[in-house]
Structure 1
């Protein structure tokens, strides 16, 4: 939807970019004004999460915010959507947007709904009806069949939300513990086999279709790339002891030299904890970094909203995160000269869903491309690494295209080449925004469950031992 004419947007774009290609969309914002702006944005974003939450208590997948009336939540929800709803509620209470009693009521309602959801092998299915909790077997919009699936990464985000909820309300801890008692991450794990590392890579499957005998039918792939969002599942499993610590070292920083990938990597082998690790890197615009699979922002920067990678591994994870953000900024402003930056999977402005990214910093040969579509949640993810530039980029997107809605926050995506703005907001992307703002305004609020226990004793030493070749 064009909330303003493209001619106006194009004129604003010209004003938004300095001669050096750096976003100069707005004057610098003072720290106190930054906090007020971020809080205002949080309030509107949280309002969208409230609008997506059904009477059952589950956050739906999306809402269409193009009309003037109250948006209707989509029929479907996923474990990721539910997790986003849980941590957004905790963040809202932590920032004083809702009361503690309201938080406890909403969390308890959501946990009650999660307890009712059908599961297999201790895990939640990929899609449910957000309004009654039934297992989704037909896609609401088309009637196409849905084969129930147990997704590794989607379950990781639900478990993340459950752990945050239990940390925020002690009364929920026994119920969450009961929910997680049978959630054993080894279900997804293929142990390392030195005699056949292709069949036994020491990595997690993408998931299983459980309608076959035994464990079910596995995906044909494993999650092999380290710097992608499924590493949250890896961290959760290593922290609770259901995955061995060596699993971390069997994940790939890049593919090996000579294998088909976006660029031939640099780097060297290192022996770490008894594992021979290829510490590979890519080089983009003179900077060495660890690529993601597709080159998108959320692959690299959703996990550190919860696990403090930059603090536990400042020279390795902290460095590659900063350089990844810099590559995203320069891709938008210098390489493509869009005038804006921030590329991550999101809804397509004209409808549908697509992966957007910076192809050069992703391993996949035919990776994610930016295509002129800027996704606001990507700028929020960059707040720890580039706060002034992220704020300037977001303000410019709002001024030029009307990308911000003071009822429901930033729209999901903007095609800056046509001026078209998405009509919808997704729970996943709004959930990343609420977590990112919470981390900026109240550092550590959502990280508490991931700084202690097995995260401290098992995960932190692995990140401290990391020696990326960058």
Structure 2
């Protein structure tokens, strides 16, 4: 039996209120810190429940009673578990020996997992109990076409950076795995149509899939043939930017990749399919002209994500010091994004709660939630179970079909509110307290994945990805961004920070004021 089985006893003490105070609580703290610690203890419990003891791989999800886990996992899930383990250690939830043993088990398994030889990248789906690459779905038996995902490998690589700094005894092993991953394999120097610089594709297959793909020599010059996705990651406000950051930090792709994505789609009626017609201006970075467009909401201007969800906007900010390195871009855009989500939930839709992001559907399955008007996608992520579409006028181009909708059963996702902690701590804590105490969307593993606020229907399930975002957000809040300290090194700062510093978004508080209170 592995030494880290002691977590079961630790969690039991926490649940009974008998655990010793963690370093974060020693000597007091800000109002709300004790609550954040309690939530972190319970959230960690769900991650323990879904992680296989022999492989150290977390399942993708576990039922609300923490009894039944899924039979598949992904690189993102594995990465999230690793940084959650570091966070659990730093918060005093588990001891240093247990944390080291847990991470060591996972790294040993990662070393043995089947990978793409030409890039060092991991496939998208594995068995959490055996580590085998999946070629059929465990539930249905349908075929899986093994895929190498840009963004999923980005989150795993990000976690390896954290482990190598947070646990010196594992630094060599984590570093070897990290150095073997070549992000140039995803980077298309020609970029997407209509954009001035190169950017990443969504990933590739080794064999032609049944759907759309583009056969090409692998971009890293390995000589292998890859079947790339037909789409690029061509929007700036996207969780996929983590892979761009890593490629730049490693010297595998050029810093000009930051100019190879859309802030918004360009202005004009040729692009009137997007959710809003943007305002903005062209700016030039390193010889590349970029349309710095912005959308508007309640007097505020901001750079939107594709679907209008919180995790697209703020997940990379858990690890990358975006507001520090992007004083004219992310420092403005992140708090405005939070304010938009909050005002939509509390004022426009009148749900009484806020925080919208892809998550479990309270009525079954999985669904994409967001603030429709705040995303570029015309049939974007909606904030309610009825999928109420917002369609406003595009003056001079198109007349809106539903400019003033009546919203239905709003679905809030707790991890989205946790992502808002650095920008509206008071509002996020109040929101989460209501979700727990008034809506009852809380169980033995912390906040359930989603809740429909008007019907009270709860998705009694925990997703590894969403729980790991919660752990990171709480950890950053209680340890003054320790995960970011682990993630960043001098080489990353020298290569990435100057490229980020020069970017200037068209974001502005305008008449919308700020998000305080």
- The Cα of 1:184 is off from its aligned counterpart by 1.1
The question of 1:363 aligning with 2:376 is answered yes
Aligned counterpart, 2:220: none
- The Cα of 1:211 is off from its aligned counterpart by 1.9
- The Cα of 1:202 is off from its aligned counterpart by 0.7
The question of 1:435 aligning with 2:472 is answered yes
1:46-445 alignment, distance < 5 Å: 46-55=44-53, 56-65=55-64, 67=65, 70-120=66-116, 121-192=119-190, 197-198=193-194, 202-212=198-208, 214-258=224-268, 259=271, 260-371=273-384, 372-405=410-443, 407-445=444-482
- The Cα of 1:453 is off from its aligned counterpart by 2.5
> Are the counterparts in 2 of residues 191 and 200 from structure 1 also a CA contact under 8 Å?
no
Structure 1 window deviating more from structure 2 (407-416 vs 311-320): it is: 311-320
* Separation (CA, whole Å) in 1 of partners of 2:180 and 2:489: 21
* Separation (CA, whole Å) in 2 of partners of 1:255 and 1:409: 39
> Are the counterparts in 1 of residues 356 and 383 from structure 2 also a CA contact under 8 Å?
yes
Q: 419, 441, 453: which one pairs with 2:490?
A: 453
> CA offsets, 1:181-218, max 9 Å, x none?
3311111111037xx94598511000101124833211
* Separation (CA, whole Å) in 2 of partners of 1:201 and 1:350: 42
For structure 2, list consecutive stretches of 5 or more residues without a partner in the other structure. 1-27, 209-214, 216-223, 385-409, 508-517
Structure 1 window deviating more from structure 2 (422-431 vs 310-319): it is: 310-319
| Secondary structure of 2:45's aligned partner | helix
> CA offsets, 1:431-452, max 9 Å, x none?
0000000000002211124332
- The Cα of 1:177 is off from its aligned counterpart by 2.3
> Are the counterparts in 2 of residues 239 and 453 from structure 1 also a CA contact under 8 Å?
no
Aligned residues: 435
Aligned counterpart, 2:393: none
Relative to the length of structure 1, the TM-score reads 0.90
Relative to structure 1, is the Cα distance of residues 144 and 199 closer, same or farther in structure 2, using a 3 angstrom cutoff?
A: farther
Q: 445, 463, 466: which one pairs with 2:500?
A: 463
> Are the counterparts in 1 of residues 196 and 289 from structure 2 also a CA contact under 8 Å?
no
> Are the counterparts in 1 of residues 307 and 370 from structure 2 also a CA contact under 8 Å?
yes
> Are the counterparts in 2 of residues 190 and 201 from structure 1 also a CA contact under 8 Å?
no
| Secondary structure of 1:283's aligned partner | strand
* Separation (CA, whole Å) in 2 of partners of 1:152 and 1:360: 27
* Separation (CA, whole Å) in 1 of partners of 2:491 and 2:481: 17
> CA offsets, 1:38-80, max 9 Å, x none?
0000000011111111121111100001x4xx51321100000
For structure 1, list consecutive stretches of 5 or more residues without a partner in the other structure. 1-29
> Are the counterparts in 1 of residues 256 and 499 from structure 2 also a CA contact under 8 Å?
no
> CA offsets, 1:294-331, max 9 Å, x none?
00000001101100111222332111111100000011
* Separation (CA, whole Å) in 1 of partners of 2:105 and 2:299: 51
> Are the counterparts in 2 of residues 348 and 354 from structure 1 also a CA contact under 8 Å?
yes
> CA offsets, 1:323-362, max 9 Å, x none?
1000000111111111111000001112211110001111
> Are the counterparts in 1 of residues 161 and 178 from structure 2 also a CA contact under 8 Å?
no
* Separation (CA, whole Å) in 2 of partners of 1:223 and 1:263: 20
- The Cα of 1:172 is off from its aligned counterpart by 1.7
